[in-house]
């Protein structure tokens, strides 16, 4: 009888000790990202078949049946979905800001303004050498601003391409990790062993994946996950122990597209989709900027050819090149600016051709189109910023809901700690009582 008392108390000690370990684990991981609170499952142990005498004799203590990992896959799904939307929104703001800044901060618009102002000033005194040189200097600034804008756009593009190819590599690594984790979970689905740790690893990998792309995760009864990339109807990235390879291709204009196992793939979330959007915006901005530069070159050079410069000769071309990237000033002296009508004598103060050039610039809409370009890129950034604010709030909300459901609350753990500590002490007392009883029996002589 004493030996039974001892074994019951020993099982109580073991259970309290396991519960204390779980509590300590929870406290230690209170601030670990993605950690799910663990609780202990225990049940009463009866072994009537072994004792077989009376019910009272069947009591055998307590048994730890497993570790419960208390998490809602619905809320996790919400966290992944809103997380990838927020990552896309963050990425969109960064990428579109870079694209917008490339045009806005290279001062293309300001330099066009100065150039047109200088042409207007030249009208008052067309033979003045310093006014002519100032037009030429402003033309040079303008050409360099276009070059700078073009280079900045190219830099932004290559940054996004690097980020995207890094993202593709990361996704493939995560997919392989998930496939391996799936294999291990399939072999050993019992959370009482190291199962909870495997599930934590699985969820951490899915959280990382949600920063890169949107996906749909579905779980089998044994805890393995199937990941469909791009949403509910997307192709499988991970299924069981198999991962499918993701690849990206870069088009001539710098935009990127994705294939999963050779099949075209469309994604709407995560930093990868932000890179795709940003590269599309950069390609559009580059096309617009090149078209403005080309129109500027043609307009000014055509106007030059239609007039006479300070020496009376037909005006030479002011710009060379065809795009924003290669526009350059070829004119070497301000005297070559063709202000006068064709056939005018040397040193003529006629400004017929200058006026024609100015109105041609207005008709071509050089300043207006540049203004529109900046408006388009900045509007895209502004709406991305609005979306970012909303998505961040939604994502934070989803995270705190999940945290409320599955995170660690230190106050609860403190209460548990006391409870299990007291249970441990009580079991200890039972052993002491058994010992006292045993001594009493021994002492009977």
Partner 1 sequence: MTTVSTSGFYDSATFNMNTLQKQVDKLQTEIATGNQYASAADNPTATAQMRSLQLQDAIGTADTQNANTASTSLSLADSTLSEVTSTIQQIQTLAQQAASSTLTDTQRASIGTQVGQLYTNLTNLANTQDTNGNPLFGGNASGPAYTLDASGNATYAGSATANTVSLGAGLSVTTGVTGPQVFNFSVGGTATNLLSVVQNLATSLQGGTAGTTPQAAAQAALNQLSAGLTQATTAQTLIGARENWVTTTTNVQSKLTTQRATEESNLGSTDISSAVSQMQQTMVALQAAQASFVKVSGMSLFSMLQ
Coil, helix or strand at residue 217:
strand
Do 146 and 327 meet the contact criterion of CB atoms below 8 Å apart? yes
Q: Which of 65, 322, 396, 432 binds partner 1 (CB under 8 A)?
A: 396
State yes or no: residue 350 binds partner 1 (CB under 8 A). Answer: yes
Strands 263-265 and 307-308: unpaired
State the Cα–Cα distance between residues 342 and 74, nearest whole angstrom.
78
State the Cα–Cα distance between residues 35 and 10, nearest whole angstrom.
31
Nearer to partner 1, 251 or 414 (CB): 414
Q: Which of 24, 410, 426, 441 binds partner 1 (CB under 8 A)?
A: 410
Q: What does the DSSP 8-state code read for residue 32? A: -
Nearer to partner 1, 16 or 244 (CB): 16
Nearest to 291, CA basis, from 337, 241, 325: 325
Q: Which of 24, 404, 426, 441 binds partner 1 (CB under 8 A)?
A: 404
Other beta carbons within 10 angstroms of residue 102's beta carbon come to 25
Residues 270-289 as x/- pattern, contact with partner 1 by CB under 8 A: --------------------
State yes or no: residue 109 binds partner 1 (CB under 8 A). Answer: yes
Q: Which of 24, 390, 415, 441 binds partner 1 (CB under 8 A)?
A: 415
Q: Which of 382, 390, 426, 441 binds partner 1 (CB under 8 A)?
A: 382
Using CB under 8 A, count the residues that bind partner 1: 64
Q: Which of 250, 259, 298, 385 binds partner 1 (CB under 8 A)?
A: 385
State yes or no: residue 104 binds partner 1 (CB under 8 A). Answer: yes
Q: Which of 162, 218, 330, 349 binds partner 1 (CB under 8 A)?
A: 349
Min. distance of Cβ 20 from partner 1 in angstroms?
A: 15
Do 131 and 118 meet the contact criterion of CB atoms below 8 Å apart? yes
Sign of the CA dihedral 376, 382, 384, 386? negative
> Token digits for 257?
């597209």
Do 312 and 346 meet the contact criterion of CB atoms below 8 Å apart? yes
State the Cα–Cα distance between residues 331 and 240, nearest whole angstrom.
68
State yes or no: residue 31 binds partner 1 (CB under 8 A). Answer: yes
**200 vs 68, 207, 226, CA distance in Å?**
12, 10, 16
State yes or no: residue 30 binds partner 1 (CB under 8 A). Answer: yes
Q: What does the DSSP 8-state code read for residue 249? A: E
Q: Which of 43, 47, 50, 120 binds partner 1 (CB under 8 A)?
A: 120
Question: Judged by CB under 8 A, which stretch of 11-19, 80-88, 258-266, 370-378 contacts partner 1?
Answer: 370-378
Interacting residues toward partner 1 by CB under 8 A: 30-33, 37, 96-97, 100-101, 104, 109-110, 112-114, 116-118, 120-121, 123-128, 340, 344-351, 355, 367, 371-372, 374-375, 377-379, 381-382, 385, 392, 396, 399-400, 403-412, 414-415, 418
């Amino acid at each position: 009888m004493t030996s039974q008392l001892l074994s019951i108390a020993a099982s109580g000690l073991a259970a309290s000790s396991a519960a204390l370990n779980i509590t300590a684990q929870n406290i230690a991981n209170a601030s670990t990202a993605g950690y799910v609170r663990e609780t202990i499952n225990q049940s009463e142990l009866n072994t009537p078949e072994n004792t077989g005498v009376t019910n009272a004799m069947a009591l055998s203590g307590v048994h730890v049946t497993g570790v419960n990992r208390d998490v809602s896959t619905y809320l996790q799904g919400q966290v992944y979905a809103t997380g990838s939307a927020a990552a896309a929104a963050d990425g969109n703001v960064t990428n579109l800001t870079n694209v917008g800044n490339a045009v806005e901060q290279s001062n293309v618009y300001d330099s066009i303004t100065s150039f047109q102002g200088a042409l207007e000033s030249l009208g008052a005194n067309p033979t003045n050498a310093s006014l002519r040189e100032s037009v030429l200097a402003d033309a040079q600034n303008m050409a360099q601003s276009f070059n700078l804008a073009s280079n900045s756009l190219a830099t932004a593009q290559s940054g996004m391409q690097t980020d995207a190819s890094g993202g593709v590599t990361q996704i493939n690594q995560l997919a392989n990790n998930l496939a391996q984790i799936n294999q291990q979970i399939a072999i050993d689905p019992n959370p009482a062993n190291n199962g909870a740790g495997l599930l934590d690893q699985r969820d951490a990998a899915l959280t990382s994946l949600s920063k890169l792309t949107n996906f749909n995760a579905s779980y089998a009864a044994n805890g393995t996950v199937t990941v469909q990339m791009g949403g509910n109807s997307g192709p499988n990235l991970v299924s069981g122990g198999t991962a499918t390879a993701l690849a990206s291709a870069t088009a001539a204009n710098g935009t990127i597209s994705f294939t999963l196992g050779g099949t075209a793939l469309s994604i709407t979330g995560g930093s990868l989709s932000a890179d795709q959007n940003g590269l599309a915006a950069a390609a559009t901005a580059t096309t617009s900027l090149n078209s403005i530069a080309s129109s500027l070159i043609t307009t000014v050079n055509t106007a030059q050819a239609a007039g006479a410069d300070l020496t009376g000769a037909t005006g030479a071309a002011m710009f060379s090149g065809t795009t924003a990237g290669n526009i350059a000033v070829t004119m070497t002296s301000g005297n070559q600016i063709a202000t006068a009508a064709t056939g005018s004598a040397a040193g003529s103060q006629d400004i017929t051709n200058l006026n024609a050039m100015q109105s041609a610039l207005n008709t071509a809409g050089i300043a207006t189109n540049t203004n529109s370009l900046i408006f388009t890129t900045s509007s895209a950034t502004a709406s991305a910023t609005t979306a970012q604010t909303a998505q961040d709030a939604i994502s934070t909300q989803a995270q705190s809901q999940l945290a409320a459901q599955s995170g660690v609350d230190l106050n609860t753990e403190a209460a548990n700690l006391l409870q299990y500590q007291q249970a441990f002490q009580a079991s200890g007392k039972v052993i002491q009582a058994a010992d006292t009883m045993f001594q009493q029996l021994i002492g009977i002589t």
